[in-house]
């Protein structure tokens, strides 16, 4: 059914002969304007309504596939070429490309009347006009793919430390991802498309890294680990490349129009977890946190925050009754070595506790399990996004609240306001073996 329609639509496109008014134009540029990935040259002056750039995208009203939509109780008609070049009801077809441009710039409807006020009147440069026209001939067609996508493949990239000090973690994440993507591909892939993953080493200079990503132009960067304030982040934002299941936590919760979906909770959530773990601790002595990896130290009530395990161990020497200490993964070894065994220990994880234990059983570290969870999340999101993808499809899919079990005991939740998968996990370590804290936030 779909195939027939696509064939029919492209046959119509081939038949439609409007007098062309401009020479060769850049379809990609028109696509960027249509979808709002590039702003119009005149900024807020681009429309009579002085719309900010996020509302000037044609896709906002006419749909990501040119299928049309409803806006403020008004119907924005389909913009696919075959619709523009056929009569609609009583109204004649657009007779020339210049007439379509008149609709966009002057609000002249088919047949010469005025379009309703919901359709903005655009002031466009010549380049923008020809780019938009060129793209209107493509929108909604079977081959109107976003970058990185074609009929057979969805090309993804990951950016990991694959050389240098952290390379063991980087390779473990990559192995976990590759295994899960291979499994999805051997099950038929996603709507018949295979997922192809390019691994990019972050241990190279900023320019080389940006070039590496740009040349590959993936549909999305998945499961990467890189400093979020590094220049590559700007580059990805500029190119509107979605970042999915990133393994570097953000500082605060993400804004809703961000192009990011995190696997790990933001640092402020991890700080809340530390506070709450300490509040729930029954040891008679002081309550301390060691936060060398979290640039979030605050001092609350009788809690004391140390920058290193050594510092805390030194201070503990003069304390008579055992206390409680909370710390992250990167301090775990030092805490076990230096802090008195009589103290209660709370390991705060940026993922649910079962991931830590699964990781220990299957691969001696949690990175493999994290990589696998990344790939499972990507597959789940893309499956929800459907077979027709555009740049924001995975982000839109996330906004319909859902829950998915990425690993036994490690469910991920999403909704419009929540762009990260997991809450922090807490492992209580008393004298014996670690036991998983019941409460996860
Ligand atoms: C804020 C919503 C909105 C935005 C943004 C918008 N349009 Fe429209 N557009 C409409 C509505 C609503 C109509 C129908 C008006 C009417 O029928 O009177 C319309 C009508 C049209 C028509 C006439 C279609 C026909 O079949 O008669 C064209 C062509 C068009 N828009 C192109 C565009 C292009 C190109 C862009 C982006 C540069 C764009 N529009 C952006 C809402 C919008």
Q: Which residues of 267-299 are buried (b: 16+ CB within 10 A; e: fewer)?
A: bebbbbbbbbbbeebebebbbbbbbbebebeee
Q: How is residue 187 annotated by DSSP?
A: T
Q: Phi, psi (5° rounding) for residue 44?
A: -70, -15
User: Ligand 1: which residue has its CA nearest to atom 32?
Assistant: 104
Q: What is the CATH number of domain 2-136?
A: 1.10.760
Count of CB atoms situated within 10 Å of the CB of 231:
13
pTM of the entire predicted model? 0.79
Per-residue pLDDT tens listing for the chain (441 residues): 344 444 334 434 434 455 555 445 688 899 989 988 888 999 999 999 999 877 899 998 999 899 999 867 889 999 999 999 999 999 999 999 999 999 999 999 999 999 999 999 999 999 999 999 999 999 998 888 898 999 999 999 999 999 999 999 999 999 999 999 999 999 999 999 999 999 999 999 999 999 999 899 999 999 999 988 889 988 888 888 999 999 988 887 776 667 889 999 998 888 889 889 998 888 888 999 998 765 555 656 667 888 889 999 999 999 888 999 999 888 888 998 999 989 999 999 999 988 887 655 655 578 999 999 999 999 999 999 998 888 888 988 888 899 999 988 899 999 888 889 999 999 888 644 455 544 433
- Substitution candidate for ligand 1 out of 36, 61, 98 with most atoms within 8 A of CB: 61
User: Ligand 1: which residue has its CA nearest to atom 8?
Assistant: 119
**What is the CA(67)–ligand 1 centre distance, in A?**
12
Is any atom of ligand 1 closer than 6 Å to the C-beta of 321? no
**What's the burial of 151, exposed, middle or buried (CB within 10 Å: 0-12/13-18/19+)?**
exposed
Calculate Rg over the CA atoms of the chain: 27
Q: Which residues are 154's β-sheet partners?
A: 149, 195
User: Ligand 1: which residue has its CA nearest to atom 34?
Assistant: 58
Asked, colleague to colleague, whether 2-136 and 153-264+363-422 share their fold, the answer is no
Fold of the CATH domain 153-264+363-422: Rossmann fold (3.40.50)
Ligand 1 atom nearest residue 75's Cα: 12
Contacts 24+ apart (CB under 8 A), 37-44: 37/240, 37/391, 40/122, 40/124, 40/128, 41/124, 41/125, 41/128, 42/123, 42/124, 42/125
Q: Where are the domains of the chain?
A: 2-136, 153-264+363-422, 267-349
User: Ligand 1: which residue has its CA nearest to atom 37?
Assistant: 58
Is any atom of ligand 1 closer than 6 Å to the C-beta of 80? no
């Amino acid at each position: 059914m779909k195939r027939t329609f696509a064939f029919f639509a492209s046959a119509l496109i081939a038949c439609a002969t409007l007098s062309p008014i401009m020479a060769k134009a850049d379809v990609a540029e028109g696509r960027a304007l249509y979808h709002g990935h590039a702003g119009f040259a005149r900024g807020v002056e681009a429309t009579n309504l002085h719309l900010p750039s996020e509302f000037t995208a044609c896709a906002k009203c006419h749909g990501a596939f040119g299928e049309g939509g409803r806006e403020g109780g008004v119907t924005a008609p389909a913009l696919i070429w075959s619709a523009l070049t056929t009569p609609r009801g009583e109204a004649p077809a657009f007779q020339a490309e210049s007439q379509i441009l008149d609709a966009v710039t002057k609000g002249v409807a088919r047949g010469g009347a005025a379009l309703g006020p919901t359709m903005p009147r655009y002031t466009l440069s010549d380049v923008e006009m020809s780019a938009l026209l060129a793209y209107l001939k493509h929108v909604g067609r079977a081959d109107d793919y976003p970058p990185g996508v074609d009929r057979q493949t969805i090309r993804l990239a990951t950016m990991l430390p694959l050389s240098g000090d952290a390379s063991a973690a980087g390779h473990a994440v990559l192995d976990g991802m590759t295994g899960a993507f291979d499994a999805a591909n051997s099950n038929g892939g996603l709507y018949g498309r295979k997922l192809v993953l390019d691994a990019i080493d972050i241990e190279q200079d900023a320019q080389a890294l940006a070039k590496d990503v740009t040349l590959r132009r993936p549909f999305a960067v998945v499961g990467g680990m890189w400093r979020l304030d590094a220049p590559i982040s700007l580059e990805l934002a500029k190119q509107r490349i979605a970042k999915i299941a990133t393994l570097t936590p953000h500082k605060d919760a993400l804004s809703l129009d961000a192009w990011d979906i995190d696997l790990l909770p933001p640092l402020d959530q991890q700080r809340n977890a530390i506070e709450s773990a300490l509040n729930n601790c029954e040891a008679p002595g002081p309550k301390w946190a060691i936060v060398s990896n979290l640039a979030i130290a605050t001092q609350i009530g009788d809690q004391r925050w140390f920058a290193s395990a050594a510092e805390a161990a030194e201070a503990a020497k003069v304390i008579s009754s055992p206390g409680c200490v909370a710390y992250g993964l990167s301090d775990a070894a030092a805490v076990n070595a230096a802090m008195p065994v009589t103290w209660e220990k709370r390991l705060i994880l940026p993922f649910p506790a079962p991931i830590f234990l699964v990781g220990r059983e299957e691969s001696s570290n949690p990175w493999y399990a994290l990589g696998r969870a990344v790939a499972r999340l990507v597959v789940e999101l893309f499956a929800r996004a459907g077979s027709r993808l555009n740049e924001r499809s995975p982000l839109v899919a996330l906004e319909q609240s859902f829950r998915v079990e990425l690993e036994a005991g490690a469910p991920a939740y999403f909704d419009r306001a929540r762009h990260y998968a997991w809450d922090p996990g807490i492992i209580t370590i008393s004298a014996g073996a670690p036991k998983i804290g019941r409460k996860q936030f």
